[in-house]
Amino acid sequence: SAYDCLIVNGTVVTASDTACYDIAIKDGKVALLAPTGILDHNAAKRVIDAEGAYVMPGGIDAHVHLAEPQLFGKGRTADDFTTGSRSAIGGGTTTIIAFAPQDKRDESLLPALEETSLKALNSTYCDYSFHLLISNPSPVALDEFTLLRDRGISSVKIYMTYEALQLRDNQILDVLLRARQTGITTMIHAENGDVLAWMTAKLEEQNLLAPKYHATSRPQLVETEATNRAIALGQLINTPILIVHVSSPSAAELIRNAQTRGIPVYAETCPQYLFLTRDDLDKPGFEGAKCVCSPPPREGKQDHEQIWKGLQNGTFTILSSDHCPFFYDDSEIGKKGAITEDAPVGRFKYIPNGCPGVETRLPLVMSEKRLPVQKFVEVTSANPAKLYGLYPKKGALIPGVSDADLVIWYPDSMQPFSITNDLLHHNVDYTPFEGRMVSQWPRYTLIRGEVVWDRDNGGIVGKPGYGQFIKRERSVWASAELPAWNVEDF
Ligand code: URP
Ligand code: ZN
Ligand code: ZN
Ligand code: ZN
């Protein structure tokens, strides 16, 4: 056949256009775009009739935690690359970027990269890459940034909190300077670790231990202060930073302000900051532990409104899941790691931080109909591709250039239903979105031209090991000529 697959009669939505045309796929790539009705349907092995459907570049989830060793001392990651990526394709995501966490005891970054690569190899359903998670920015580690680039890794993540990971400001500057010199984008977890540890100790003294006090221990100010500092450090070096998982309107405001002043700061938010509130941490019994993540879900509707606005007005460059899966009932380490035989009440400080969400990210936001569809594609696919050096291989539909990674929705032919954990394909024993109504779910997910998710006909039809490691280029935005800063002085 001339083509492997045709997607016909659909409305194709990219970050830049919405138009009706057919897509012809050959050898895993978008081969041709043609007006509806021209292409011979017999010239393809498979034809998908997308009448009434939205056809979009597949979702790119640039923030997922899979198969991470227990470096922070709490919680076992429930998903490995197989189950986590299976969940991804069931929700329309075709590429994930997971973390390769450096062990603080290592000077080098390479063991992390090698170990994580082995875990993903031959076991992943979707295409993937890694961010290097740096906990020890030793001279050795900094010297390896060039090697990272050679291996197709163009981003690192650093933390301003968590005892095992927190960097001091001078260490952050070391990372940012080297990142600038090597064309790496730095992701920053912005919470003031010293302040929240102090708050946590105060709450513990007063025996305030329930999951809801996790939110009390890290109010918006903790995030806002660290965000301000991260922006200032980024500005000093004049290199692109991305603030991950922003939850606070006050932090978003600082980011917008910096963007307006021309500082290269980008930002990410996540569905938990659009849909969950502090009240979700106050469910009966220990159930609140299911929604413990950092930063925590904020106070209520007003906060959600501001985060939606930030997506609409471009403050948030990307929307990721921060899929960070822990078991609720964990036979080895107790209920969400905090209720054990010797601690029958459980203490919030021992609850591992993070919620699963790689599969629900796109359906939740699509169902809400709050973002114009092109904006939806921008923040869930095109922008993560641009930010992390995957564009236009991913995140676009350019003939001859882009991989045929697609998600196809039939917006008018779905019965609304409520999310239950048994519908999902992760290995976690709960979803924080249990019971929430959705009106949209992807019908097909295609990766490099192959249908891997067919909701009405087999569900997960892809295979673990089909997913490929994708070598990334430098960020579209890191390659912009930034005004000179006297790096030579250092
Ligand atoms: O609570 C969260 N976000 N856990 C995942 C680890 C991180 O900081 O991204
Ligand atoms: Zn036909
Ligand atoms: Zn983080
Ligand atoms: Zn995370």
CA of 359 to the centre of ligand 2 (A): 31
Q: Which of 97, 281, 294 to mutate to test the pocket of ligand 1 (most atoms within 8 A of CB)?
A: 294
- What is the distance in A from the centroid of ligand 4 to the CA of 36? 42
Q: What does the alpha-carbon distance between residue 403 and residue 389 come to, in Å, rounded to a whole number?
A: 14
Alpha helices (runs of H) in 328-483, residue ranges in sequence order: 361-368, 373-377, 383-387
- Distance from C-alpha of 299 to C-alpha of 317, rounded to nearest angstrom: 23
Measured in degrees and rounded to the nearest 5, phi and psi for residue 7 equal -110, 110
Q: Which residues surround ligand 3, an ion (CB under 5 A)?
A: 189
With the most atoms of ligand 1 within 8 angstroms of its CB, the residue from 244, 245, 276 to mutate is: 245
Cα–Cα distance between 282 and 168 in angstroms, integer?
33
Name the residue with the closest Cα to ligand 1, atom 6: 354
Atom of ligand 1 nearest to the CA of 162: 8
Ligand nearest to the CA of 214: 1
User: How far out from the chain centre does Cα 249 lie?
Assistant: 19
Look at ligand 1, atom 4, and give the residue with the nearest C-alpha: 354
CB 117 within 8 A of CB 130: yes
Cα separation, 327 vs 33, in Å, equals 45
Atom of ligand 1 nearest to the CA of 244: 9
Amino acid at 194: D
The whole-number average pLDDT for the span 293-322 is 97
Residue with the nearest Cα to atom 5 of ligand 1? 354
CA of 65 to the centre of ligand 4 (A): 6
Q: What is the predicted pLDDT for the residue at 479?
A: 56
Residue 231 · residue 254 · CB < 8 Å: yes
User: Tell me, what amino acid is at 415?
Assistant: Q
Residue where the block lists tokens 């992760």: 426
pLDDT in tens, 427-476: 999 999 999 999 999 999 999 999 999 999 999 999 999 999 999 999 99
Cα–Cα distances in Å, from 363 out to 48, 93, 129, 463?
21, 10, 23, 22
Residue for token digits 């919680």?
75
- Give pLDDT, residue 343: 82
Report the atom number in ligand 1 closest to the C-alpha of 159.
Answer: 8
Instruction: Return mean pLDDT, the chain.
Output: 95
Q: How far is ligand 1, taken at its centre, from the CA of residue 48, in Å?
A: 38
| Tens of pLDDT, residues 60-90 | 999 999 999 876 656 789 999 999 999 999 9
- Verify cis geometry, omega within 30 degrees of 0, for the bond prior to 392: yes
212 CA to centre of ligand 1 in angstroms = 17
Q: What is the pLDDT of residues 387-429, one digit of tens each?
A: 999 999 999 999 999 999 999 999 999 999 999 999 999 999 9
Q: How far is the CA of 420 from the centre of ligand 4 (A)?
A: 23
> Could you identify the atom of ligand 1 that is nearest to the CA of residue 292?
1
Residues with CB under 6 A from ligand 1: 65, 189, 245, 293-294, 322, 324, 353-354
> pTM for the whole thing?
0.97
**34: CA distance to ligand 1 center in Å?**
43
Specify the 3-state DSSP secondary structure of 407: strand
Give the end-to-end CA distance of the chain in Å, rounded to a whole number. 59
ipTM over 0.85: yes
Q: Which residue's alpha carbon is at the smallest distance from atom 2 of ligand 1?
A: 354
CA of 61 to the centre of ligand 1 (A): 14
